[in-house]
Amino acid sequence: MKKVLITGGAGYIASHTNIELLKGEHELVLIDNFINSSAEALERVQELSGRSITFIKVDLLDSAALDSVFVQHPTIDSVIHFAALKAVGESVEKPLDYYTNNITGSLNLYSAMKKHDVRKIVFSSSATVYGDPDEIPVKEDAPIRATNPYGHTKAMMEQILMDTAKAEDWSVALLRYFNPVGAHDSGQIGEDPNYPNNLLPFVSQVAAGIREKVVIFGDDWDTPDGTGVRDYIHVTDLAKAHVKSLEKLANSSGIHIYNIGTGRGYSVLEMVKAFSEACGHKIPYEIGPRREGDIAEVTGNPAKAKTELGWQAELGLNEMVESAWKWQSQNPHGYNS
For residue 252, which phi and psi values (nearest 5 degrees)?
A: -150, 130
In the complex, what is the shortest distance from the CB of residue 322 to ligand UDP, in angstroms, rounded to a whole number?
18
Q: Which of 198, 226, 255, 283 binds ligand UDP (CB under 6 A)?
A: 198
Say which of 98, 150, 177, 335 is annotated catalytic.
Answer: 150
Cβ proximity to ligand UDP, 21 vs 84, nearer residue: 84
Angle at 18 (CA atoms; ends 129, 231), nearest 5 degrees: 35
Cβ proximity to ligand UDP, 9 vs 131, nearer residue: 131
Cβ proximity to ligand UDP, 99 vs 217, nearer residue: 217
Q: Which stretch binds ligand UDP (CB under 6 A): 9-17, 91-99, 195-203, 299-307?
A: 195-203
**Residue 334: left (phi > 0), alpha (psi -120 to 50), or beta?**
left
Where b means 16+ CB within 10 Å and e means fewer, 124-151 reads: bbbbbbbbebeebbbbbebeeebbbbbb
In the complex, what is the shortest distance from the CB of residue 144 to ligand UDP, in angstroms, rounded to a whole number?
16
Cβ proximity to ligand UDP, 14 vs 216, nearer residue: 216
Amino acid identity for residue 185 in this structure: D
- Cβ–Cβ < 8 Å for 171, 119: yes
Cβ proximity to ligand UDP, 47 vs 292, nearer residue: 292
Number of amino acids touching ligand UDP (CB under 6 A): 14
Element (H, E) at 235: helix 235-250
12 flagged as catalytic: no
Residues 209-238 that bind ligand UDP (CB under 6 A): 214-217, 228, 230
Is 66 a binding residue for ligand UDP by CB under 6 A? The answer is no
d(CA 235, CA 253): 27
Site string for ligand UDP, 12-31 (x = CB under 6 A): --------------------
Burial class (CB in 10 A: 0-12, 13-18, 19+), 280: exposed
- Cβ–Cβ < 8 Å for 242, 175: yes
Cβ proximity to ligand UDP, 76 vs 241, nearer residue: 241
Question: Checking DSSP bridges between strand 179-181 and strand 232-234, what pairing results, if any?
Answer: parallel
Is 287 a binding residue for ligand UDP by CB under 6 A? The answer is no
Report helix, strand or coil for 11. coil
Q: Which stretch binds ligand UDP (CB under 6 A): 10-18, 113-121, 193-201, 258-266?
A: 193-201
Partners of residue 76 on adjacent β-strands? 3
How far out from the chain centre does Cα 326 lie?
20
Is 268 a binding residue for ligand UDP by CB under 6 A? The answer is yes
Partners of residue 129 on adjacent β-strands? none
Q: Which residues here bind ligand UDP, judged by CB under 6 A?
A: 179, 197-199, 202, 214-217, 228, 230, 268, 291, 294
Provide the annotated active-site residues: 150
